[in-house]
Structure 1
Amino acid sequence: MVLSQTCIMLEGTKLLELKLMFSTTLIDEDNGCDKNQHTRTIYERWSLASRNLRSGECQFKMATHMARFRSWNRAHSFGIVAYRRYSSGGGYPNISLSSPLPGMPKPVFASVDEREKYETKVTTLENGLRVASQNKFGQFCTIGVLVNSGSRHEAKFPSGISHFLEKLAFSSTAQYGSKDEILLTLEKHGGICDCQTSRDTTMYAISAEVKGLDTVVDLLADAVLQPRLTDEEIEMTRMAVRFELEDLNMRPDPEPLLTEMIHAAAYRGNTVGLPRFCPADNVEKIDRTLLHTYLKSYYTPERMVLAGVGIEHEQLVACARKYLLGKKPVWGASTPGNVDRSVAGYTGGIIKAEKDMSDVSLGPTPIPELTHIMIGLESCSFLEDEFIPFAVLNMLMGGGGSFSAGGPGKGMFTRLYLNVLNRHHWMYNATSYHHSYEDSGLLCIHASADPRQVREMVEIITREFIQMGGTPGEMELERAKTQLKSMLMMNLESRPVIFEDVGRQVLATSKRKLPHELCELISNVTASDIKRVTTKMLRSKPAVAALGDLTEMPSYEHIQTALSSKDGRLPRMYRLFR
């Protein structure tokens, strides 16, 4: 019997061809060959052919599925040729995904009334509490209480009370026995909580699911008006405050310390010049009685705003009436007569702190020893018309670190980059900041360099202040305005940022300027506006903060003279011995 060459073809397709080759064997009964051995050989070859056939069928099925994917180009897999198929199907051949289908009507998109889309609604309750909200698409909301209370209001109290209240926030209350119980309650609604204090505002905030609104507002009311403030919690807060003070002095970036120092120098012993962080000497002085006395004066309904983003205004007002309108504070009746209503008085001056910065940042890539200088001048409050030109001026100055990360829009064409960092390789940092409050403001420049270059660094910064008084170029002004508008709109894409913006504006003015209104004000700023506000700013006395090795630090009088000159240069110093 002869087994000839066999070809097995899968019918119905030209994509797959499987060839099984067998050698022919002539079995001659007369030659004395072992028939059993030949039979076993034939059986083994047929078994191998069957396995190859099954494998080929699997490959064929797999290739059939893969060929259906639209993104396939002409590909060769498993010996199969597959052609790209378009998303439009067989009825619309060769139409790419980016092209509209012929004969199909144009889609009609739903539109929302612009006023309804961006409107911030404000309602004042009978007790003076203001409720402000802005709806936003999504399943989560951010709700919080902002209080007109901060470190600037501690003139009649030991400094540090606001710092303590920030650490004590969302601890045990009348309804909740511990902070863990509060966190577990929020977890049921996917929520998180936080409290932040500044020089003029204390903010309690919760982000959670919209369906948990009642629980969130009830918890907020309890945390703000009925905290227990147990001895154990106050003692734990003392430990946390001490640790934070130590951490501030050990950070490689001393910007928080310099900000404290520049405010203390600019507003010597009054309002926003009071310490934001609790001084080490006051940690043991603050107790529950002192905290209750402070809360009784400042935590009153007319000094509060309940703000919400991502929630219907009517729902938030209903919750405010239910949980905040009739809730009695744990400290009893308020005493609004003790409120400090002092107006910020700008004084100018200098605060220096000699400090060894050589061991601040250790590790495989330690930061070199630097001396940090911050020089500031009085600007304006955020309630004045000059606030927007000052914001544009701050963006025009820009700046940053020599190795700070960033990309397009970082501000590489701002003045502090072009005139300072790009021209002086030994400058490690040069950044402009603008702090604004309801009755004053401060525009300052922070610079850092090697201690041997301190005098030259100070002169470079004073020259930049003097050059602010000139008329800015058209291109750099437009770039600064565009960057400011871009930063404003990008920040307002975040729900917590919208919440803070709504709360702060309503707390200060009982209304809110919408983003497009602010963009219009920014667009209307002219070069003459920049020159006008800068000329006014340069008349004020400088505020100076210095930290590090100050051996080469010029005197305050020399800095003041440089800022009064035409070129911003420091007076020349002549030494008998060099």
Structure 2
Amino acid sequence: MLRRVVTPTPVAATTACAVQARSIYEYKFGQTPLSKPLGRLSHLSRATPSKPAPVVAGKVEVTKLHNGARVITHNLGGPSVSIGAYILAGPAYDPPSAPGTGAMMHLALTTSNYNNALFQLDRNIRSVGAAQSHFEKNKHYIGIRIDSRADKWKSSASTASRTEQRHQLQNQKQAQEQFSLNLVQDNIFTCIAAPRFHEPDVERFRDTIDNQVEELRWQYPAEYAKQMLETVAFYREPLGNPRHVPAISNGAISSSVLLEQYSRYVVPSRVVIAGVNVDHAALIAEYENTPFPHSSSAPHHTRSQPSKVNWQDEAAQYTGGERHDQEDRAKVMGTKPDMDLESIVAVGWLAYGKDRKMLKDHAASMVVKALMDIQFKDSIRYTRDETQEHAGVRAFYNPYQTAGLVGFTATADPQAAVRMVTDAVKLVQANKAAVADSTLSVAKKIARTQFMVQNADTQRDYCDYLGTCLAMESDSTVATSLEEVVDAINSVSAADVKKVCETMFSNKTSLYGHGEVLGFPSLRQMGL
């Protein structure tokens, strides 16, 4: 039997090998060299951490800055922060020749800017375990949000002490090797103030955008039907612009189109900076100390004036109508072994929006949606979308600014789809009659719970709510709090529900169907 013999290695040789092995990782990408201790405190002196003082949740603070941007924060004292920029440049402001520009815009803003390349922005996020999201909100807003630790969102210049800054100036080599993290400044504020819209950066995501639309259409058909219903209900109107990038517009939205759209709508007066668990003054200082200040007097902004969109009377944009898209889903998807056919239908009516001036009607619209949940035997929904639902009838309510769309989606076999839709419409029409007090009380509780879960369950949701709760007037600093909406829901009466139902059924019904819809009747044939 052979036995392995290990010869002891001298300590000096071991240390030399360790240094040699470690040096191969020092590629000078800007990170702290591995030959230096991690952290600011030396490993030789470990001070006993002091017990942190209890943080009392502050109030919501709103400030309008000198350049027109508005900052809203709520410091709850949590260990992580959410900071986002919400811009009035959503799908409702897309140019008629390029629908989907708003959906492309929030992606293009995060690719690169005049201070950082794409890989540098990605490195900023990964270096501290942060998360970045970009999205559209309520058809009017596009957003960029950063979620990170509470001690990692500030720029290095503002977080370092004077002694450390003086030491860095004395030792220029160490200052070059030190990784300078400006997370929020680089990944949000500079992206808004000085984007590049580099054509190769935009081109690399075109396939991804097409794949996202295809995945939405074939894997989440109910959510796709909801989004397409908006294009039917507000046909050729600003609210009828798609939330996604249509395949026909993907190649037309070039770098020059994005730059023109940016120059028109991404101006400071249309930007809201929101933060949760951050100090209000610190967030303002971070924004104002951005390397590229954002000014509406810049030549590209003064040269391009935004087109006026009448958001104060969005109900006038409602047209109603219907559209059927025949699809052989079983053949295209290839994931149905029995080649089962299915029909997906979305039906909607005009409702009220979330503007502060119609807060009571907005609350009543949420209660009507909750009444539909009760009639459809549905439960409390934790998300607005339909990405987790695959069959049955589901109610929805999409609020915009002064208008909304309330209705339901139905997913079933083609033989049962017609009866399912007609029965669901009859249940909804029954709300025109007097609603029992007991049923109304349950509906208000459901509406209140759904509203709080969708807007305050996580700090990310709450940050999105803060960024979109200010009045759309650029000089307004009045925010609609969660408590005001909850109080409005609690005060909804049967008369308020009847008012919403009268608005719904005094306008044309909208319908969108896809899948197996060759035999599906029209609205006129169904008596709608």
Q: Calculate the TM-score normalised by the size of structure 2.
A: 0.75
Q: Where do residues 347-366 of structure 1 align in structure 2 (5 Å cutoff)?
A: 347-359=319-331
Distance 2:231 2:368 in 1: 24
Among 384, 397, 405, the alignment partner of 1:434 is: 397
Give the match for residue 332 of structure 1. Answer: 300
Give the match for residue 67 of structure 2. Answer: 127
Distance 1:282 1:143 in 2: 31
Give the match for residue 248 of structure 1. Answer: 216
Distance 1:399 1:221 in 2: 44
* Aligned residues of 1:176 and 1:182 also touching (Cα < 8 A): yes
Distance 2:251 2:333 in 1: 30
Q: Provide, for residues 373-407 of structure 1, a one-character-per-residue CA deviation record: whole Å limited to 9, x for no partner.
A: 111110112111311011011012117999x9x7x
Higher relative contact order (CA 8 A, sep 6+): 2
SS in 2 for 1:132: strand
2:170 aligned with 1:203: no
SS in 2 for 1:255: helix
Distance 1:399 1:250 in 2: 28
2:433 aligned with 1:476: no
- Residues 289, 428 of structure 1: CA spacing in aligned structure 2 closer, same or farther, 3 A cutoff? closer
Q: Where do residues 130-529 of structure 1 align in structure 2 (5 Å cutoff)?
A: 130-178=70-118, 180-198=119-137, 199-211=139-151, 212-214=153-155, 215-219=182-186, 220-251=188-219, 253-323=220-290, 326-327=293-294, 332-335=300-303, 337-343=305-311, 344=314, 345-359=317-331, 368-383=340-355, 384=358, 385-398=360-373, 428-491=391-454, 492-506=456-470, 508=472, 510-529=477-496
| Post-superposition offset of 1:366 | 7.1
Distance 2:443 2:375 in 1: 15
2:506 aligned with 1:536: no
| Matched pairs, number | 428
Identity of aligned residues (%): 19
Q: Which has the larger radius of gyration?
A: 1
SS in 1 for 2:204: helix
* Aligned residues of 2:80 and 2:149 also touching (Cα < 8 A): yes
What residue identity is the alignment partner of 1:469?
A: K
Distance 2:375 2:110 in 1: 36
| Post-superposition offset of 1:441 | 1.1
* Aligned residues of 2:351 and 2:406 also touching (Cα < 8 A): yes
Distance 1:167 1:389 in 2: 35
SS in 2 for 1:530: helix
Distance 2:423 2:285 in 1: 57
| Post-superposition offset of 1:230 | 1.8
Q: Calculate the TM-score normalised by the size of structure 1.
A: 0.69
- Residues 231, 517 of structure 1: CA spacing in aligned structure 2 closer, same or farther, 3 A cutoff? closer
What residue identity is the alignment partner of 1:186?
A: I
What residue identity is the alignment partner of 2:213?
A: L
SS in 1 for 2:274: strand
| Post-superposition offset of 1:474 | 1.9
| Post-superposition offset of 1:250 | 2.6
SS in 2 for 1:434: strand
- Residues 476, 401 of structure 1: CA spacing in aligned structure 2 closer, same or farther, 3 A cutoff? closer
| Post-superposition offset of 1:447 | 1.1
Distance 2:78 2:337 in 1: 44
- Residues 247, 493 of structure 1: CA spacing in aligned structure 2 closer, same or farther, 3 A cutoff? closer
Distance 1:188 1:366 in 2: 48
Q: Where do residues 94-133 of structure 1 align in structure 2 (5 Å cutoff)?
A: 117=57, 119-133=59-73
- Residues 188, 548 of structure 1: CA spacing in aligned structure 2 closer, same or farther, 3 A cutoff? closer
| Post-superposition offset of 1:367 | 8.9
Distance 1:158 1:192 in 2: 30
Unpaired stretches in structure 1, ≥5 consecutive residues: 1-109, 412-426, 563-578
- Residues 327, 346 of structure 1: CA spacing in aligned structure 2 closer, same or farther, 3 A cutoff? closer
| Post-superposition offset of 1:516 | 2.5
Runs of 4+, deviation exceeding 6 Å: 364-367, 399-402
Q: Provide, for residues 485-536 of structure 1, a one-character-per-residue CA deviation record: whole Å limited to 9, x for no partner.
A: 2233344131101100100002636332322322221111112221222123
What residue identity is the alignment partner of 1:309?
A: V
Distance 1:196 1:226 in 2: 19
